[in-house]
Chains A and B, each alone.
Chain A
């Protein structure tokens, strides 16, 4: 069972307190009506399905209830870092630093 750090509670808690919420940084278009069918399809269905570093959303469901973002390696399952919703995607250097 993984330990996950909630960036709002600033504490590491067991996985059972959290729920996974899909890929991160997939922002809902501001004006969906302006999108072509293809663009909308890409937003709805197309995800990176990364092998390795993956940006994803989690919710501290049985804690503060907040959604946040995480960087996790999909091969080893190890979390590199977590950060608050709305913060920009961390750079490779920031991830490397967090891992070390």
Chain B
């Protein structure tokens, strides 16, 4: 086995080997390893290539903040996931991983040509380089940039996994299971409060997992951890969620959690969801997110083998892996010294500890010397060497006056760095909680809160273990008390704790040229200190602008390791203090989250509701082709014997005009308006006059918005003086009812009217064609169907096929027509009865396409297709539907606003193409002069366009500026193939005298 695994050390199971592959090569790790720790145990540091320069990169961290170590995981078809952080990816037998962003291979990458061209790719280089010539943008620049953009390969097939989601409520939600979070949960749990504790890691313990030597309450850290975890597990009121990330913190203590359920398993259990999104509403929240170590900024700080010191310590103590046998430590913070000591004690030869600070607490220096480690305090690091792994570092003494002395080279196989620690305030920032700048400590700390939340531990600047435990305990107890429980925090003591402090830095001093230094701030987006200073020189002063110009902090890691370094360099460059330069906004999710988790159950058939009519199943059996209309699926056309759509629609149109067609109109919105003031309410809502409409009569109703534009229309029947049966467009039903409710509840609460949606209570069968009456006459009871007794636009209640009906005589085709309303449960039975009885007339079911053609032939508009929210009744030639003598109705006042009366308003007209075979494209633009220069003046567009089987030619409706006055003129319609000409005509193409209706 490799020389980097320290047997017996760490929390991995040394007796359980795990076999996995990386780039096709077989490796062995231990149960409990991450991909990172397992590869490091095998001496592998080179894990990927950087985004812009394709520089070889290694593991920077040991946690979810990792910017470099992104890999692809392949678990079979559809289960390929790019950009997984190797530092949190748990290995299992058979795990198959690949590195990213290189070609042909990780070790030999053609894209690395970008690295020596470094000077070309500085901040804002996209904006500077791809400006001209303008014509290059579409064909040359954009395709190249798109090809180079992005990391990893997204899978091309649907995700076979399922994702769960659930709501939860609790008294206290604790985020983070480090020392502060654990005791917060423990103290809150003891009070009896309902507690949820979450941590992104598979194991609870946080920083304690990497610090076995600490002593808490006279127990070793790991024994204390064992005891505390057991105590929590024994509490029925505490829910423990490991492998769960708190991704976002929203209003009123609403927190999103993403729980990973199967990614760590070698065998995927059948039917188990891969992830579960928890939507938690907590009375109180304790944020114990911990802290993230800052890298140091110096030339070559990104080579494989250069790693955060605290992370090296985690690899050693938690995973039993030495990240090198000959490490150098470079730091400005005491904590890295502890990493050096641990490494030395595990058998590594620590070549040197380089501390930027001239003065380091004696305790550390003494201990280093006792371990035989050379210490260089007041030194800097000015470079590194090594192609696929660091082989040496270049260090220089810095005089008190800041002079950088001659360099010395130290050989090494790993470089452990620390620039201090940054409290993780991400979730606190999601709540718009205020961040206070602490100048002495050079960090932002949580300030005034906006939610019922508390921050505790390192995330609140309490880096000491004891102070962290104490703060966690009191936060947990206080949260329980605020949630209505009684609690008092227990006490926690830590033996012989050494408090670590440090100094903050920008780019480290160097004897080299700053303009050639590749001193990385943002590793994932390849942003250097030089880029940030360049952005400031070019005029960017706000951190939000600097961020977007340089892309620092904009990668998938969202700048977890880079934001503070970026800010302090930017603040130095603009010569303003950090707090006035500001911190960029943290936004959810905390770490990358799958789309699957957000989608949850709402995919495929469950993506949204499919509404089906009572007759839908019949249409399905007959092989109807469907189209979606709002949430409904509607039969589009019924194809017979291999007909294409055009043939089927032509047949359906012919049959309806010549004999008899039937159509499922059940999706029409229906609202029952009842009450003594029903007619008054109708008068106020609709443009038409309703007072004189006699019971038993129908009227076309037009509904405007208060702005005077057409909102909806439909045929409305008066059943008795106090009862109207209103129909609306299919898509407008809910909107119209909401609008009516609004006026009724808030403007006219004095009216005695009740509104009820009856859309789904009625099945509606539209029968159209010269034989419509002949079909239903023998089947109807209680209604005289003679033309004189039951003329066009009548309604009556009676029975059909033995069931109750509201029978409308109405037509949306221009033919003799009836709409048979029956209670929905009889819909299919009545439909079938009518279909059987209609066979002798060649009854033909038709779909929405034929309905559209037939209505367009008659110039009947479809609101939302022929109108677009800017069309007045006058524009649509519907002024006849306005009750001119009514004092008021919704939208009336707007109809006399000056803009509504202009002569050049766009008006609905008919169009006939010069070539009768040409069917214009709906949405095509209309111009008056086809020879004018581009961009042409567009005077309108085609709203409806069909092949009219009845006329044997194409027809179209269009809105055209001043259209009605242009009747007889020729307009032009540029389409991809050619520019077509058409004549403006009236809107009614078939039977303008309505002879076919009134028979």
Contact = CB atoms under 8 A, between A and B. Distances in A.
Interface of A: 1-3, 19, 21, 27-28, 31-33, 35, 37, 40-41, 44, 57, 59, 61, 65-67, 76-78, 85-86
B746 interface: yes
A78 to B, nearest CB: 8
B846 to A, nearest CB: 35
Which 9 pairs of residues, A with B, have the shortest CB-CB distance?
A32-B893, A67-B745, A1-B254, A28-B747, A3-B252, A85-B746, A2-B251, A67-B746, A40-B893
Contacts of A57: 746
A66 B745 contact: yes
B745 A85 contact: yes
Interface in B312-347: none
Given A28-B747, A40-B893, A59-B741, 18 more contacts: A1-B250, A1-B254, A3-B251, A3-B281, A19-B738, A21-B742, A32-B888, A32-B893, A33-B893, A37-B897, A40-B894, A40-B897, A41-B897, A67-B741, A67-B742, A76-B432, A85-B749, A86-B749
A33 B893 CA distance: 6
A8 B281 CA distance: 23
B401 interface: no
A44 B888 contact: no
A23 B887 CA distance: 26
Contacts of A21: 742
Contacts of A44: 706-707, 894
A65 B954 CA distance: 47
B460 to A, nearest CB: 22
A19 B738 CA distance: 10
A42 to B, nearest CB: 12
A31 B889 CA distance: 10
Nearest to A1: B254
Contacts of B450: 76
Interface residues on B, range: 20 to 34
Contacts of B432: 76
A33 B251 contact: no
A63 to B, nearest CB: 13
Contact of B251 (A1, A19, A86): A1
Contact of B252 (A2, A59, A65, A86): A2
26 contacts: A1-B251, A1-B252, A2-B252, A3-B281, A19-B738, A28-B706, A28-B747, A31-B888, A32-B888, A32-B892, A33-B887, A33-B888, A37-B897, A44-B706, A44-B707, A57-B746, A66-B745, A67-B741, A67-B745, A76-B432, A77-B251, A85-B745, A85-B746, A85-B749, A86-B746, A86-B749
Given A35-B893, A44-B707, A65 B746 contact: no
Contacts of A65: 741
Contacts of B738: 19, 59, 61
Contacts of B893: 32-33, 35, 40
A35 B706 CA distance: 14
Interface in B778-833: none
Nearest to A27: B747
A49 B706 CA distance: 20
A2 B432 CA distance: 15
B158 interface: no
A44 to B, nearest CB: 6
A35 to B, nearest CB: 7
B976 interface: no
Contacts of B254: 1
A21 B887 CA distance: 27
B166 to A, nearest CB: 14
B952 interface: no
Nearest to A31: B888
A2 B254 CA distance: 8
Nearest to B744: A67
Contacts of B887: 31, 33
Contacts of B281: 3
Most chain B CB atoms below 10 A, which of A32, A41, A66, A67: A32
Contact of B898 (A35, A37, A67, A86): A37
Contacts of A37: 897-898
Nearest to B748: A28
A3 B279 CA distance: 14
Contacts of B250: 1
Contacts of A77: 251
Contacts of A76: 432, 450
Contacts of A67: 741-742, 745-746
Contacts of B707: 44
A78 B888 CA distance: 38
Contacts of A31: 887-888
B584 to A, nearest CB: 19
Of B279, B742, B747, B893, which is in contact with the most chain A CB atoms at under 10 Å from its CB?
A: B893
Nearest to B707: A44
Contacts of A86: 746, 749
B421 to A, nearest CB: 31
A78 B451 CA distance: 10
A65 B741 CA distance: 9
Contacts of B746: 57, 67, 85-86
B66 to A, nearest CB: 31
A57 B745 CA distance: 12
Interface in B439-486: 450
Which has the most chain B C-beta neighbours within 10 Å: A44, A57, A66, A77?
Answer: A44
Nearest to A61: B738
Contacts of B749: 85-86
B756 to A, nearest CB: 11
Contacts of B745: 66-67, 85
A36 B710 CA distance: 22
A31 B897 CA distance: 15
A21 B898 CA distance: 28
B429 to A, nearest CB: 14
B628 to A, nearest CB: 23
